């Protein structure tokens, strides 16, 4: 008798039982031949429909402090250590409320305040508090935050404010992280995620594919995320930014990006798997369709932090055409 293929194993275990693939199996998916990619995506889509349903969660993000970060994440144009075209700016509270209102108008249920910092200082925490209160008073939308490494007190403060979800990416496999950043560790990032969970906020944790990691490390990363059981995983593809140490890396090929989407869904059958930055570069307009038919069930609409995204209406039109409703706010409160 021949051994079952990894997709046959996934059909039994992931689709029928809702349990994710193991690391070695994830690697097999990442190594599938091009001719098997459509089958992998189709299965990933079935898994997403079975365990998450047809809704797509839509989120907007806004940068409350851009650029000038003291850390050295090699992919990031917001690091103050590299010569990049990103200018350091801060947004005021009325502008943040306006951005939240515009995001809510697209049907989005999440609005994430992002700051390019190692972790928030007292001034940033005060600004965030004011912003979260002002947005909650004026707009019906869940507020999420992404403010870097937290202390236990800061995690408690954000939870008390009603912050619904906290984003902090592990970015890549534990074994590859020292090639990506040297000013802080993977373990420090993990500790913040543990604090987020301890304080009752939803955990949003993903990373970037295509930073020079091997396929073995890509599988390791998916397995490490699966062990963390995050509520949401934003999946980015490296968009090599001028001036950063990763500026000369080649973007991930479309077929590798699609293999990664299928593999991450089969590793994380129940999580919100969000298309984040780099999808336009890697997959083009067609790729958004392939992604949401291949396991993705959430997207960021509009612009990313330092790069432009697509017109939100293009994404919303696509979801309507595919009969995938935008997840309603009442379900997420």
Nearest approach in angstroms of CB 76 to ligand SF4 is 3
- Whichever of 76 and 263 has its CB closer to ligand SF4, that residue is 76
Nearest to 59 by CA among 256, 208, 246, 272: 272
Nearest approach in angstroms of CB 77 to ligand SF4 is 8
- Whichever of 4 and 178 has its CB closer to ligand SF4, that residue is 178
Instruction: Answer positive or negative: Cα dihedral of 249, 225, 274, 191.
Output: negative
Q: Which residues contact 285 (CB under 8 A, 6 or more apart)?
A: 310, 314
Nearest approach in angstroms of CB 170 to ligand SF4 is 12
Question: Which residues lie near ligand SF4 (CB under 6 A)?
Answer: 69, 71, 73, 76, 78-79, 116, 118, 148
Which residue is listed with tokens 């089958």? 39
Report yes or no: 181 and 74 within 8 Å, Cβ to Cβ.
Answer: yes
Nearest approach in angstroms of CB 116 to ligand SF4 is 4
Angle at 167 between CA 191 and CA 56, to 5 degrees: 140
- Whichever of 119 and 269 has its CB closer to ligand SF4, that residue is 119
Nearest approach in angstroms of CB 304 to ligand SF4 is 12
DSSP letter at 19 equals P
The token pair at 242 is 């001028």
- Whichever of 148 and 206 has its CB closer to ligand SF4, that residue is 148
Give the CA radius of gyration of the chain: 19
- Whichever of 11 and 81 has its CB closer to ligand SF4, that residue is 81
Nearest approach in angstroms of CB 97 to ligand SF4 is 23
- Whichever of 27 and 204 has its CB closer to ligand SF4, that residue is 204
Report yes or no: 31 and 300 within 8 Å, Cβ to Cβ.
Answer: no
Task: Locate all alpha helices (DSSP H) within the chain, ordered by sequence.
Answer: 6-10, 17, 23-30, 37-51, 93-105, 122-138, 152-161, 186-198, 215-228, 254-267, 279-292, 312-321, 329-332
- Whichever of 193 and 326 has its CB closer to ligand SF4, that residue is 193
| Cα–Cα dist 310/317, whole Å | 12
Nearest approach in angstroms of CB 248 to ligand SF4 is 18
Report yes or no: 232 and 274 within 8 Å, Cβ to Cβ.
Answer: yes
272-308 CB burial, b ≥16 within 10 A, e <16: bbbbbbbbbbbbeeebbebbbbbbbbbbbbbbbbbee
- Whichever of 31 and 118 has its CB closer to ligand SF4, that residue is 118
Nearest approach in angstroms of CB 316 to ligand SF4 is 29
């Amino acid at each position: 008798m021949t051994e079952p293929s990894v997709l046959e194993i996934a059909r039994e275990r992931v689709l029928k039982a809702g349990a994710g693939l193991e690391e070695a199996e994830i690697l097999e998916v990442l190594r599938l031949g091009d001719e098997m990619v459509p089958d992998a995506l189709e299965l990933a889509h079935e898994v997403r429909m079975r365990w998450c349903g047809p809704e797509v969660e839509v989120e907007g993000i806004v940068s409350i402090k851009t650029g000038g970060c003291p850390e050295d994440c090699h992919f990031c144009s917001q690091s103050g250590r590299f010569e990049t075209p990103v200018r350091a700016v801060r947004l005021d509270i009325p502008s943040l409320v306006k951005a939240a209102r515009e995001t809510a108008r697209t049907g989005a249920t999440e609005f994430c305040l992002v700051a390019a910092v190692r972790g928030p200082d007292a001034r940033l925490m005060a600004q965030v508090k004011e912003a979260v209160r002002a947005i909650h008073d004026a707009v019906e939308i869940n507020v999420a935050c992404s403010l870097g490494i937290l202390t236990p007190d800061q995690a408690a403060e954000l939870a008390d404010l009603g912050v619904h979800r906290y984003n902090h990416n592990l970015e890549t496999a534990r074994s590859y992280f020292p090639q990506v950043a040297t000013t802080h560790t993977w373990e420090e990032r993990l500790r913040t995620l543990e604090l987020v969970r301890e304080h009752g906020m939803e955990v949003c944790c993903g990373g970037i594919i295509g930073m020079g990691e091997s396929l073995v490390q890509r599988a390791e990363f998916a397995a490490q995320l699966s062990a963390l059981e995050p509520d949401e995983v934003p999946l980015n593809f490296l968009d090599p930014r001028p001036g950063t140490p990763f500026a000369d890396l080649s973007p991930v090929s479309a077929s590798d990006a699609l293999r990664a989407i299928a593999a991450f869904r089969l590793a994380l059958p129940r999580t919100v798997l969000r298309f984040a930055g780099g999808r336009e570069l890697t997959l083009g307009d067609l790729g958004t369709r392939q992604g949401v038919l291949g396991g993705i069930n959430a997207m960021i609409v509009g612009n990313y932090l330092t790069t432009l995204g697509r017109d939100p209406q293009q994404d919303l039109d696509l979801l309507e055409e595919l009969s995938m409703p935008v997840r309603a706010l009442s379900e997420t409160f």
